[in-house]
Structure 1
Amino acid sequence: MTASMYILLLLALIFANAPFLTQKLLGVIPLAKKHFGHHLLELFIGFGITAALAYLLESRAGAVHPQEWEFYAVVVCLYLIFAFPCFVWRYFWHARNVQ
């Protein structure tokens, strides 16, 4: 794997976990209470940025290969697996200790 692929994986890990680390929407807009829908919106936006960057890197390396729906299903599942550590921290550990 090239350095750009390692950077892409690192950015995907950061974008997947960022929604669960702060009470601010997109890390900028402060909210009184951040609901699960806000987290899903941020995950979707982060996935879009990651996918666009991956497409850009692939197009710069050569021809972009056409993908079927199975590829996208696997990529979404892997992105959600990347988000799992901060999801657990936010909803299972952090919520238990805040009273």
Structure 2
Amino acid sequence: MTHTLSVWLVLTAALLAANIPFVNNRWLAVIPRKEPKTLGMRAGELFVCYLLVGAFGLALEQSAGQIYPQGWEFYATTGALFLTLAFPGFVYRYLFKRRG
């Protein structure tokens, strides 16, 4: 697998995972819930999704060769990017006015 394909794969996974908490009421899109999730639950699920995508990216980096050590700046940047990717789902869930 090429490095370019790995980058696009991680970005696509991040886009999908960042919006999962906002488009359905299941935990991680798998476990059904009887009650709707609160914003705090969705934020916690968003953090878990961030960790899962990070683990996926780490696995792809390991398969490509040696893992490069990262500092706090890397995690701050990727966290901000993940929150930015979650914005469409947030708008759909909380700001989009539905008629009916």
Tell me, yes or no, whether TM beats 0.5: yes
| Unmatched tracts of structure 2, length 5 or more | none
Which residue number corresponds to residue 97 of structure 1?
Answer: 98
Which residue number corresponds to residue 82 of structure 2?
Answer: 79
Which residue number corresponds to residue 53 of structure 1?
Answer: 56
Bigger mean CA offset, 10-19 vs 40-49? 40-49
* Alpha-carbon offset, residue 26 of structure 1: 2.1
Q: TM-score, normalised by structure 1?
A: 0.88
Q: SS at the partner of 2:83?
A: helix
Q: Percent of counterpart pairs with the same letter?
A: 37
Deviations 1:66-99 (A, max 9, x none): 1111111000000000000110111111xx4377
Which residue number corresponds to residue 9 of structure 1?
Answer: 11
Deviations 1:27-81 (A, max 9, x none): 2222322101110121111111100011111111111111111111000000000
Which residue number corresponds to residue 36 of structure 1?
Answer: 39
| Unmatched tracts of structure 1, length 5 or more | none
